[in-house]
Amino acid sequence: MGRPLVAILTGAGISTDSGIPDFRGPRGVWTLHPEHEKLSTIGYYMTDPEVRRRSWQMRRETYAADPQPNAAHRAIAELDAAGPVALRVITQNTDGLHQRAGLPARKVLELHGTSRSVVCTACGARSSIADAFARIGAGEPDPPCLACGGILKTATVMFGENLDPAVLSEAASIARACTVFFAVGTSLQVYPAAGLVDLAADGGARLVIVNAEPTPYDAVADEVVREPIGAALPRLLRELRPDPGG
CB 109, CB 90: distance < 8 Å: yes
Give whole-number Cα distances, 197 to 58, 163, 164, 204, in Å.
31, 17, 19, 11
**Which one of 33, 36, 98, 112 is the catalytic residue?**
112
Write the pLDDT tens digit of every residue in 152-167.
999 999 989 999 999 9
CATH number of 32-66+116-156: 3.30.1600.10
Residues sharing a CB contact under 8 Å with residue 108, sequence separation 6 or more, in sequence order: 88, 89, 91, 98, 99
Among residues 113, 94, 87, the alpha carbon closest in space to that of 174 is found at 87
Write the pLDDT tens digit of every residue in 90-148.
999 999 999 999 999 999 999 999 999 999 999 999 999 999 999 999 999 999 999 99
Write the pLDDT tens digit of every residue in 204-217.
999 999 999 999 99
pLDDT confidence bin for 27, thresholds 50/70/90 = low
Write the pLDDT tens digit of every residue in 28-84.
555 555 566 788 899 999 999 999 999 999 888 888 788 899 999 999 999 999 988
Q: pLDDT at position 246, please?
A: 43
Domain boundaries defined on the chain = 1-20+69-112+162-246, 32-66+116-156
Residue 241 pLDDT exceeds 90: no
Q: Which CATH number fits domain 1-20+69-112+162-246: 2.40.37.10, 3.40.50.620, 1.20.120.450, 3.40.50.1220?
A: 3.40.50.1220
Look up 36 and say whether it is catalytic: no
Please tell me the total number of residues recorded for the chain in this structure. 246
Q: What is the mean pLDDT of residues 181-191?
A: 93
Q: pLDDT at position 197, please?
A: 97
